């Protein structure tokens, strides 16, 4: 009988076409594909991996929970060392931070009770060098206080149709945001947002709208009007994937 293992994965999304494996004919690298290949190299078993979040192309992760079954008898320590060896050999854009045998019934996605994302904005006129592909560079100075005021109006249970991306497969646009904040941190503007689950592109659409508040194109109070409109056309643009990070999941 196969054992189930849980790992925490860190990855640079700029080298991947998202987490989920795609049609093999596209030949685009994915995080799931990289992990699956590393597991195969180690064990000789081709397994499916399951994650707490399905990040898009270019989105990063600081600690993404992943689980998978394995017939081979081994240890969590051996799995962590072996996977990191093969992941590094394949390009090093992904790393296993922790590994453990999962409790019975554990599922990285369906057992998850909360998810946290972070979005980083580099707000300066000088071209990004070290943060290229790791943050959204915005040249005009943004009003962080106004952005934070607007963000807090989104906390709670709402119909988030105005922030729902096209192609979203969620059955309902109603979600509950547990918290959201906009603060300056180390020269960056950081948006942190927590909820049990999110709509497709919800976080990036919220950030794109907050940017317009920061620029003075929208007032903080306009967030209420945007929510009531229940129309994607009423909100701001979709922020680039490069600034988005999956931070952690709670169980």
| Tally of domains in the chain | 2
Note whether residue 221 is domain-resident. Answer: yes
CATH number at residue 9: 3.30.70.580
pLDDT at 21: 83
Owning domain of residue 231: 114-250
Query: pLDDT tens-digit profile of 17-26?
Result: 999 987 666 6
Whether 145 and 170 map to the same domain: the answer is yes
CATH number at residue 216: 3.30.70.660
Whether 144 and 62 map to the same domain: the answer is no
Last residue of a domain, one of 101, 135, 164: 101
Q: Three-class SS of residue 250? A: strand
Whether 156 and 210 map to the same domain: the answer is yes
Burial 242-251 (b: 16+ CB within 10 A, else e): bbbbbbbbee
Strands (E), the chain: 3-11, 50-51, 60-70, 94-101, 114-123, 136-138, 156-159, 174-185, 188-195, 244-250
Note whether residue 109 is domain-resident. Answer: no
Structure token pair of residue 13:
């999304």
Whether 133 and 238 map to the same domain: the answer is yes
The catalytic position among 3, 12, 37, 56 is 56
Q: Three-class SS of residue 213? A: helix
Note whether residue 108 is domain-resident. Answer: no
Query: pLDDT tens-digit profile of 48-76?
Result: 999 999 899 999 999 999 999 999 999 99
pTM of the model: 0.95
Beta bridge partners of 88: none
Q: What is the mean pLDDT of residues 218-229?
A: 98
The whole-angstrom separation of Cα 248 and Cα 64 is 6
107, with CB counted inside 10 A (0-12, 13-18, 19+), is middle
Average pLDDT, the chain: 95
Q: Three-class SS of residue 120? A: strand
Query: pLDDT tens-digit profile of 38-48?
Result: 999 999 999 99
Give percent of the chain with pLDDT exceeding 70. Answer: 98
Query: pLDDT tens-digit profile of 179-204?
Result: 999 999 888 999 999 999 999 999 99
The whole-angstrom separation of Cα 189 and Cα 145 is 11
Active site residue 56: yes
The whole-angstrom separation of Cα 51 and Cα 218 is 36
């Amino acid at each position: 009988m196969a054992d189930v293992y849980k790992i925490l994965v860190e990855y640079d999304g700029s080298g991947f076409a998202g987490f989920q494996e795609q049609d093999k004919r596209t030949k685009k690298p994915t995080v799931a594909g990289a992990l699956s290949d590393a597991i195969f190299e180690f064990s000789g078993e081709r397994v499916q991996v399951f994650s707490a979040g399905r990040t898009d192309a270019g989105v990063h992760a600081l600690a993404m929970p992943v689980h998978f079954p394995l017939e081979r008898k081994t240890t969590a320590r051996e799995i962590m060392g072996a996977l990191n060896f093969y992941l590094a050999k394949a390009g090093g854009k992904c790393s296993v931070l922790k590994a453990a045998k999962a409790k019975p019934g554990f599922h990285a996605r369906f057992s998850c009770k909360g998810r946290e994302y972070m979005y980083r904005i580099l707000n300066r006129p000088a071209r990004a060098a070290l943060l290229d592909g790791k943050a959204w560079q915005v040249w005009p100075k943004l009003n962080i206080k106004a952005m934070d005021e607007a963000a807090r109006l989104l906390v709670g249970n709402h119909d988030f149709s105005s922030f729902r991306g096209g192609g979203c497969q969620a059955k309902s646009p109603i979600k509950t945001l547990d918290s959201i904040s906009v603060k300056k941190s180390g020269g960056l503007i950081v948006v942190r947002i927590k909820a049990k689950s999110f709509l497709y592109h919800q976080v990036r659409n919220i950030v794109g709208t907050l940017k317009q508040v920061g620029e003075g194109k929208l007032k903080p109070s306009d967030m209420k009007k945007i929510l009531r409109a229940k129309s994607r056309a009423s909100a701001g643009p979709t922020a680039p994937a490069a600034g988005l990070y999956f931070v952690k999941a709670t169980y």
